[in-house]
Structures are given as structure tokens and as C-alpha cells.
Chain A
Amino acid sequence: MRAGFGVEKRSTLSWLWQAATGVLLLPLLALHIIANHFVVTGGERNFAEVASYLGNPVIKVLEVLFLVVVTSHAMLGVRSILFDMGVPRRSRPAVSWAVTALGVVTVAYGIWLTITISR
């Protein structure tokens, strides 16, 4: 019974985190799309424009925050779909660890790329 309650509590927390990252994504994604594709002549920034854009510390923080939030939202979504597709209960912790590891690698790569470009 206690284990059942724990599973339910974790799944509620996952849902809340999924919803919270979804809410945060609305302004962050809008900023990312508008700033990188709609206010730029030709729809894409050239190399110098990307470097200059990411050189702004506020933008850098917002873009990294966007990366963390979008990756969290994506990994929680993938995990939720996998669970719903019938991953056995005993394998679920391994799946959670795998998607968390993928998310951490994704964010680490994105941060490395951001720093490399803006250097």
C-alpha cells in the first residue's frame, strides 16, 4: 500500500513538473522563435549575429534556461509515453535513469555549444 502511494505521489509530481515546465516554455519558446527567426532579416542569424546575440549575458542565461526547461519537458514526455506503452513496473526506474541521463547529456552539450559559439 505504501509503495502504491509512493508511485502515485511520484507520478503526480511528474505531472506537476511537466505542467510547470510547459508553462515556463510558453514565454521562453516565444522569445527563442521571435528573436532568432522573426526579427532577423532573412529569418536566420549569420555567424557574427549569433555570436553577438549569445554574447549578451541576459540572453545567454535565458537561452540556457530555455534549453534546460525544454529538455526537462521533453524527457518527462518521453518517459510518460514509454510508461503508458506498457514498460513493466520493475523496469521503470531504469527507464527514468536513462531519460534523465539523456537529458543531462543534452543540456551539457547545449551549454558547451553556447559557450563555444559566444567565446
Chain B
Amino acid sequence: MAEEMASGRRRPTRWLDLRGRHEGAWAYALNRLTGIGLVAYLYVHLGVLSLLAHGPSTWNSFLATSKAPFFTALDALVLLGVLFHSLNGIRLGLTGVGAAVRWHQLLLRSLMALAVVLFLVAGLLWSIRG
């Protein structure tokens, strides 16, 4: 770090180096990683939806494939990423405008607890809906 400051150059992935950093830095790095993952998912999602342009038989046969456990696991991972990114985003927005800066750690823990609850509720609804 000191070497980087002395040379005036910054390592491109320094935000991923979490050695000895506090949990806010972990949340920041995870926010970026989930953001990159969700951007990738946006294009995968658009690619999948493009099957709709090929007509009912293409889309309906894809639906049969999408019931496989691999896709369900992928959906669960995306939902987890969305919940973390959006709830942590609320914290970043609030602290960014100077609100709740003193309670940012409590806010992070509360929002992550809410993310877990929402994920479990979504899983329950998902299984009930069949």
C-alpha cells in the first residue's frame, strides 16, 4: 500500500485486497462483485429472453429445461446477489449522503439479516408455488 502511494500508481484490484480491512470494506468489495455478476446476468437473461422471438415452441421447450436443479440453483444465486446488492446499496446511498454514518455497521448487519429473511421467504414461496 505504502509502495503504491509512493509510486503514485494504484493496483487495479486493490479493492479486492481485504487483508486487515473492516467489514465495510468487505461489503464494498462484495457489492462490486455482485454488481459485476448481475451485469453478466442481465446479458444472459436478455439472451434467454431472445428465445421468445423464435416463437412458442422454442420458448415452451426451454421452459422444460429450465426446471433442472442447476437452473434453480443459479436462480437462487442470482436472488441472493440481488438481495445483497440492493440492500447494501441502500446502506451505501444513505451513508453517501451523510445519513446514518454513525450506525453504518449496525445498518449493514440489520440489512444483511433482512436479506437472509427475504431469501428464506422467497425460497418458501418458490417451493409452495411448485
Binding site for B on A (CB under 8 A): 15, 19, 22-23, 25-26, 29, 33, 37-38, 40-44, 46-48, 50, 70-71, 74, 77-78, 81, 84-86, 106, 109-110, 113, 116-117
In whole Å, how far is A44's beta carbon from the nearest beta carbon of chain B? 5
Closest B residue by C-beta to A45? B63
Q: Are B50 and A113 in contact (CB under 8 A)?
A: yes
Given contacts A26-B86, A47-B56, A50-B52, contact A77 B129 (CB under 8 A): no
Binding site for A on B (CB under 8 A): 9-13, 15, 32, 35-36, 38-39, 42-43, 46, 49-50, 52-53, 55-56, 59-60, 63, 66-67, 75, 79, 82, 86, 89-90, 93, 96-97, 122, 125-126, 129-130
Interface of chain B, helix or strand or loop or mixed? helix
Given contacts A23-B93, A106-B46, contact A41 B35 (CB under 8 A): no
- Give the residues in chain A near B50, CB-CB below 8 Å: 113
